[in-house]
Structures are given as C-alpha cells and as structure tokens.
Amino acid sequence: MNTHSVTPHRRPRALIGAVTAGILVVAATLGGTPAPVSAANTLTMRGADVSSLQRSLDLGAKYYDAGGVARDPLDILKSVGVNYVRLRVWNNPISGYNNKNAVLGQARAARAKGLKVLIDFHYSDTWADPGKQYKPAAWAGHSLSQLRTDVYTFTYDVCSSLRGQGTPPDSVQIGNEINVGMLWNEGRVVNNDFAPLAGLLKQGYNATKACGSGIPVMIHTANADSNANARWFYDGIRAQGVQWDITAQSYYCMWHGTLANLYNNIVDLRGRYGRPVVIVETAYPFTRNNADSEPNAIGDATCDGISATWSGQAQEFDWVQNTARNAGAIGVFYWEPTWYAVRGNGWDPANINGTGNQWDNMAVFNWSGQVNPGVRWTP
C-alpha cells in the first residue's frame, strides 16, 4: 500500500469476463466461499504487514482477542494463523519509525514469537507506490551509478545488521509497488527502457545474496489488475537479466478487479516466469465509517456483493486466500491489520502526530482494539 490517499494508478473495480475453465471455477463460486479444488496449493506464507505496530504500542494501544482478553497483538495474530510478518524499511523518515534501528527491534519481537520476517525495502524516506517513488533525501543529487551503489550498500547494511543480531530476513523485497520503476527519475521506466531500473534491482538482489545466499528475493508490483501490465513489467526486467525468486503482487479488490481476474493473473505469472507468486498486500473494510478527521483511503467501495462489516471483511479475506491458493500462489499477506484508530499514529511520517489514520476502517482490529473474530489465515 502507499500513502493511503487515492492515487492516480488506482482504478475502479471492473468486471472481467470469465473465459477459461480455471477462471470459471472461481467466478462460479462467488455466491459463497470458494471451496479448494484438488489442485489447490498450500499457503505457506500467511502474513501480516505490521509496520505501524510499534508506534501504536508506544502510544499505549491495547489489543484484545475475540474473548476480550488483552494480549500481545503478535500472539493474537499467530493464534489465528499468521506465521510471517512484513516490515517496511525507510531510509531516514522524519517520524523515526520504520528506519533501520526500528526494524531491528520489530524483527527481534517477531522472531521471539516464532514468526518469520519479510523485509520490504522502499528506498525512500516515505511511502513508495506506483504513483510516487521519491528518492531518500540523502541520495537526492546522486547519479544512476551512485544510486546503484546506494541500493547495494543500504540493502546489505540492513540485512547484515539483522543477521548480526540473530534475526536474518526470511525473505527480502527489493522495491515497493514498482510498476514503473523506483528511485525516480533515474530509476523510472521511460519509453520501455528497463535498463536503468534493472541495474538498481540487480544491486538489491546481489546485496541480499551476499548477506545470505538462501534468502529469497521478491520483486513487487501492484499489477494484479492487469495481466498485460504485469507481463510488460516482468518481461522487461527479465530481458535485462534481472534475477528474482518470488513474484509479488498487491491485490485490493476495489482497485484491482475481480477474484476471477486475480486467479488468471496468478496462473499466468507462475507459468510465464517459473517462480512462486505471493500476494503481499490485501485488505477489506469492516466499516464505511471513519474514526478521525482524515478521509479513509477506502470509503464506500466494496466488492463481490460483500458488506463492509466484520463478517464481510472475514469473508472477502477468505475468498482472496482461496483464490490465491487455488491458482497456486504460496502466500497471502494482509496489509496493516493492527493499524487501528490510535490517536497520534498518523499516516504522514513528516507529521505523524498531526495526521489521522486513513486505514482505520481496514484494520482487523476495531477502534477499541478488539480483533475481528471471523478473520483467519489458513494454509
């Protein structure tokens, strides 16, 4: 996800015709939770992006299980099926959160609970997504050649620091929703020229493998809405010799189309590139209401005839998991399930106390910190 405002790359949900047998399997089940088919895969990466969690805890947030008992939120998530956390890394955010030192602490906390860790490099001091890929201030005047060195050095430093404290990453993501590149403008894809971006991605990949040769590297786009766009991107980096281990996608149904469309994209990406696919971001509202003065990133939009209620949120998440599983994906991550309406934990790292939370209706915990009793991460 991104700055949690509606950005130009987001498109209204569109109905996609079910034209293949595989798609029809999913489309035909939208009246109820899709049942796994015989070829269904197992979701081995059942994740939650909890990047904002430490800030909430520092502000005194409390988290309650379905029985109303206050517990560590990581324990609550683990009890309902989570086995992986995703942590974003910003270079030098004004907020002081999501930088290297903060991520080191978050990784220790997650590993202490027996959870695996995915490190999500944004290569920015703030949100990076398809609509914006701002360079860190410290790299602002750097040439493309310098930026390649920057990416390698920063990636290796964070990874090796994690390894040094006994919590090496279980996987690493080079860039966040890089549909048309990262570290703009030097790393932006212009006129179908993927060479500048490819050079940056190779440095991130090489740094990760130098830190730990067995650490899987993901490359992440928000192209779940368009198979043509996904092919354009991954064909483009592959032609430049970029290596990656897992193809990562974002899927928000209000922006990225039907579950049938998601199924088709996963199947195609798996077959075309011969790599596992993971949905590293998804979410659904439990209410259309707003907890603060900041407009919700997703207000009235709903999908698949499912209401914005606790039961609706649980149902849509089940359907996304089942669709991903049936298409052969290996993981699904819910984006920021713990970022509930905690005053002072705003979306803008440059004004974290003065901005609201645009995700307060999308978390898996309600505005009092109680977990949605119906949400489960399932293999």
Contact 264, 236 (CB under 8 A): no
For 267-323, give the DSSP string: HHHHHHH-S-EEEEE----S-S--SSSSPPSSSS---TT--SSHHHHHHHHHHHHHH
For 200-216, give the DSSP string: HHHHHHHHHHHH-TT--
Of 177, 186, 294, 316, the active-site residue reads 177
**Is 281 considered catalytic here?**
yes
Give the span between the Cα atoms of 370 and 345, in whole angstroms.
Answer: 18
Give the SS3 label for residue 73.
helix
Q: HSE of 282 in the Cβ direction (CA atoms, 13 Å)?
A: 30
Of 281, 294, 316, 336, the active-site residue reads 281
Give the pair of three-digit tokens for residue 85.
């956390």
Establish whether the linkage from the previous residue to 326 is cis, with ω within 30° of 0: no
**Is 316 considered catalytic here?**
no
Number of C-beta neighbours around residue 133 at 10 A: 24
- Closest by CA to 317, choosing from 256, 263, 374, is 374
Write the CB contacts of 341 (distance below 8 Å, at least 6 apart in sequence): 291, 292, 357, 360, 367
Residues belonging to the active site = 177, 281
